[in-house]
């Protein structure tokens, strides 16, 4: 039971990260391939502040999120006005740097020996992990709600405008660089917050947790569900993490000697799913969350000079 | 309106516009020239989408040489690019609303105005802008610029890729808008014949240099042809 609560709690964290990536990439077009780096800064920042400096957990989490925001702010000045490929490479490299520093700076982070122990809040309560699960759910539901409201808001339309045509958006009075920086820093800080909230789930932090596979899992979830759809990220996490890490790993009657193959089988299935989606449903399972459209007339009125052929 | 002194601009290190000195008053100011003459570069520079490499630019007496592009709508400048002039994933109405955020009049009032001017857009108000035809897209781009309640309208080759009949309609709309709203219009075009019908003054660019700047009344088509071939 505890394992299931742990898995579902982790799934909530993945859904939260995918929502934030939906805002960054789906709405604003920033290809952040360093999700695990920002999440990891929050995770380890919380761990270090809690374990080494004996700060209360909530203070450690908030402070770690602020540190993540500061790092994201510096990074945003360096890369955000570059091309998409440059942002992708730079954020990927950033995550690798964070992971390397976690290993090399062992006086602070514990290196490969790890850092712990980080306990749940409300230590006296027996079902504290269940309470923590619901606390995580509140945070993630709030993120989903904000993300859903954002699409139809004035701010959301500005983000889509900047994503679609930054020059045109600037000519219409949008401070495109400032908006991109602000949204990037805020969403990265929230990734750090989710990292901080993950620390009590793992209790003992090891560098392995910062493997790039987390970034790829969140990206795959976003692409599967539909990057342009608010709920796509959530559906994607259910179809990947929920299906494989929870349902199959927990309930599938796999013999113990073959269970070791499950992680590789999972990656294989992710790959096949991704190829199928890209081939047959490029907008993702839920498709594009575009404007509420009315059907266009099948034929254009005769003699209409404004309509070109086609 | 605009006052340019020895204006130099281009892309990166490459200079496209070379020491242009001119002013734009309350008029339809046409910029003619062949492909690569620097018309688009000039309009982007006036919209502050390209940095100045030299010289100065002022708008109504205020120096805007280093002004960011996002400050220009509040200064009364609206820009309609030649290509990529709509946000394809937003609906027609959402495209218009983004333009309507500047100015002091209520957005609904401005929306009704542009729907009266372009009834086709009203029919398509809920449709994604990316699904519009070329002519409808151009209408939307002009309508969105008018939603900004501009004092100066920068139009970059609005007739490019449109059917001849619609070009007539479009130029009539431009002339009508100028008359009704008293807008200053900077019009970059390749279609010299249509442009001369509505222009007050004409500048001809060739390889980023100004080869002619004269009132329409003192201009013959042969002057333009000669300037084109320099």
Give the pLDDT of residue A20. Answer: 93
Contacts of B165 in chain A (CB under 8 A): 305
**Is the domain of B60 the same as that of B167?**
yes
pLDDT of residue A308: 35
CB within 8 Å: B91 and A170: no
From B128, B149, B170, the end of a domain falls on B149
Q: What is the mean pLDDT of residues B200-212?
A: 89
Nearest CA in chain B to A178: B70
Asked if B128 lies within 8 A of A172 by C-beta distance, the reply is no
Q: What is the pLDDT of residue A98?
A: 95
**Among chain A residues, CA nearest to B89:** A290
Asked if the Cβ–Cβ distance from B127 to A294 is below 8 Å, we say yes
User: Same structural domain for residues B117 and B181?
Assistant: no
Instruction: Kindly state whether residues B32 and B72 are assigned to the same domain.
Output: yes
Among all residues of chain B, which has the CA nearest to that of A292? B126
Average pLDDT for runs of 10 along chain A of length 310: 83 92 91 94 95 92 96 94 89 94 91 85 77 92 90 88 92 92 96 95 90 83 76 80 76 78 80 82 68 41 35
pLDDT at A291: 53
Q: Of A197, A90, A87, nearest to A142 (Cα)? A: A197
Domain boundary (B149, B165, B195) is at B149
Give the contacts of B97 (CB within 8 A, at least 6 positions apart): A157, B107, B111, B147
Give the helix, strand, coil percentages of chain A, each rounded to 5.
70, 0, 30
Sign of the C-alpha dihedral computed for residues B208, B212, B216 and B219 taken in this order: negative
Q: B27: how many CB neighbours lie within 10 A of its CB?
A: 17
**Nearest chain A residue to B92, by CA:** A291
Window A:149-178, CB contacts with B under 8 Å = 154, 157-158, 160-161, 163-165, 167-176
Q: Which residue has the tokens 């062949």?
A: B34
Rg of the Cα trace of chain A?
A: 21
Per-residue confidence (pLDDT) for residue A306, from 0 to 100: 38
Angle between helices A176-202 and A2-21 (to 10 degrees): 170
**A-B contacts (CB, under 8 Å):** 110
Query: Are B28 and B94 members of one domain?
Result: no
Answer yes or no: do B66 and B136 share one domain.
Answer: no
User: Where in chain A are the domains?
Assistant: 2-209
The Cα-based distances of B113 to A114, A304, B155, B173 in angstroms read 66, 21, 20, 13
In the three-class reduction of DSSP (H, G, I as helix; E, B as strand; rest coil), residue B152 is classed as strand
User: Looking at the structure, do residues B67 and B20 belong to the same domain, yes or no?
Assistant: yes
> For position A288, what pLDDT does the model report?
61
- Which of A160, A168, A229, A303 is most worth mutating to test chain B (most B CB atoms within 10 A of its CB)? A168
Put simply, the answer to whether A161 touches B87 (Cβ < 8 Å) is yes
A128-151 vs A176-202: helix crossing angle, rounded to 10: 160
- Residue B230: predicted pLDDT: 56
Residue A116: alpha-carbon gap to chain centroid: 25
Please determine, for residue B186, whether its predicted confidence score (pLDDT) is greater than 90: yes
Question: What are the pLDDT digits (tens) for B124-155?
Answer: 989 999 988 888 888 899 889 988 889 999 99
Q: Please, are residues B138 and B158 in contact by the beta-carbon 8 Å criterion? A: yes
Report CB contact under 8 Å: A164, B133. no
For residues B65 and B155, membership in a common domain is answered with yes
Tell me the shortest Cα–Cα distance from A255 to chain B, in angstroms: 49
Strand order in the sheet with B77-80: B77-80, B152-156, B184-189, B28-32, B201-206, B209-215
| Residues B207 and B157 occupy one common structural domain | yes
pLDDT of res. A305: 37
Establish if A179 touches chain B: CB-CB under 8 angstroms.
Answer: no
B191/B181 same-domain check: yes
Domain holding B229: CATH number? Answer: 3.40.50.300
Domain containing residue B117: 80-149
Q: B108 and B199: one domain?
A: no
Do B105 and B139 fall within a single domain?
yes
Q: Which of B67, B98, B158 to mutate to test the interface with A (most CBs of A within 10 A)?
A: B98
Asked if A293's CB is within 8 angstroms of B131's CB, the reply is yes
CA closest to B165 among chain A residues: A305
| Domain count across chain B | 2
CB contact under 8 A, A293 and B126: yes
Window from A38-47, A111-120, B169-178, B187-196 with minimum mean pLDDT? B169-178
Q: Is A290 on the interface with B (CB under 8 A)?
A: yes
**Which of B95, B119, B149 marks a domain boundary?**
B149
CB contact under 8 A, B135 and A158: no
pLDDT digits (tens, 9 = 90+) for B66-119: 999 999 999 999 999 988 889 998 999 999 988 777 777 888 888 898 888 888
Q: Are residues B91 and B71 in the same domain?
A: no
- Distance from the Cα of A161 to chain B's closest Cα (Å) equals 6
Give the nearest chain A residue to B149 (CA atoms).
Answer: A172
């Amino acid at each position: 039971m505890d394992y299931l609560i742990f898995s579902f709690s982790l799934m909530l964290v993945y859904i939260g990260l995918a929502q934030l990536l939906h805002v960054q990439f789906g709405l604003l077009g920033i290809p952040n391939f360093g999700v695990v780096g920002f999440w990891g800064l929050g995770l380890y920042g919380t761990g270090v502040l809690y374990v080494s400096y004996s700060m209360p957990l909530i203070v450690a989490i908030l402070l770690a999120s602020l540190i993540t925001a500061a790092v994201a702010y510096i990074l945003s000045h360096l890369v955000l006005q570059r091309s998409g490929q440059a942002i992708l490479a730079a954020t990927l490299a950033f995550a690798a740097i964070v992971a390397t520093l976690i290993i090399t700076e062992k006086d602070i982070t514990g290196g490969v020996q790890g850092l712990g122990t980080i306990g749940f809040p409300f230590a006296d309560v027996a079902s504290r992990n269940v309470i923590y699960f619901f606390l995580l759910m509140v945070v993630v539901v709030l993120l989903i709600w904000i993300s859903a409201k954002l699409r139809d808001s004035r701010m959301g339309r500005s983000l889509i405008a900047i994503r679609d045509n930054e020059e045109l958006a600037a000519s219409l009075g949008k401070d495109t660089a400032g908006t991109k920086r602000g949204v990037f820093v805020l969403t990265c800080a929230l990734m750090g917050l989710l990292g901080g909230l993950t620390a009590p789930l793992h209790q003992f932090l090891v560098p392995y947790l910062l493997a790039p596979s987390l970034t790829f899992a969140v990206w795959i979830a976003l692409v599967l569900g539909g990057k342009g759809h608010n709920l796509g990220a959530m559906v994607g996490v259910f179809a990947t993490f929920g299906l494989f890490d929870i349902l199959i790993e927990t309930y599938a009657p796999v013999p113990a000697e073959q269970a070791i193959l499950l992680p590789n089988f999972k990656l294989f299935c992710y790959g096949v799913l991704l190829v199928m989606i890209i081939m047959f449903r490029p907008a993702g399972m839920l498709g594009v969350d575009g404007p509420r459209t009315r059907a266009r007339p099948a034929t254009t009125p005769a003699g209409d000079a404004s309509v070109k052929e086609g | 309106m605009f006052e340019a002194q020895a204006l130099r601009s281009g892309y990166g290190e490459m200079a496209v516009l070379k020491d242009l000195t001119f002013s734009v008053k309350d008029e339809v100011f046409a910029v003619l020239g062949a492909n690569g003459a620097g018309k688009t570069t000039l309009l982007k520079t006036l919209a502050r989408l390209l940095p100045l490499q030299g010289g100065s630019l002022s708008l109504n007496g205020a120096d805007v040489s280093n002004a960011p592009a996002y400050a220009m709508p509040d200064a009364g400048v609206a820009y309609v690019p030649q290509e990529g002039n709509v946000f394809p994933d937003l609906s027609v109405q959402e495209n218009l609303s983004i333009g309507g955020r500047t100015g002091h009049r209520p957005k609904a009032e401005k929306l009704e105005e542009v729907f009266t001017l372009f009834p086709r857009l009203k029919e398509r108000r809920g449709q994604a802008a990316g699904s519009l035809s070329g002519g409808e897209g151009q209408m939307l781009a002009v309508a969105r610029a008018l939603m900004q309640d501009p004092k100066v309208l920068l139009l970059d080759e609005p007739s490019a890729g449109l059917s001849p009949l619609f070009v007539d309609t479009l130029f009539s709309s431009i002339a009508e808008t100028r008359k009704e709203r008293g807008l200053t219009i900077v019009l970059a075009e390749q279609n010299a014949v249509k442009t001369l019908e509505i222009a007050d003054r004409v500048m001809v660019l060739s390889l980023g240099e100004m080869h002619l700047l004269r009132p329409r009344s003192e201009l013959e088509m042969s002057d333009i042809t000669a300037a084109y071939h320099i």
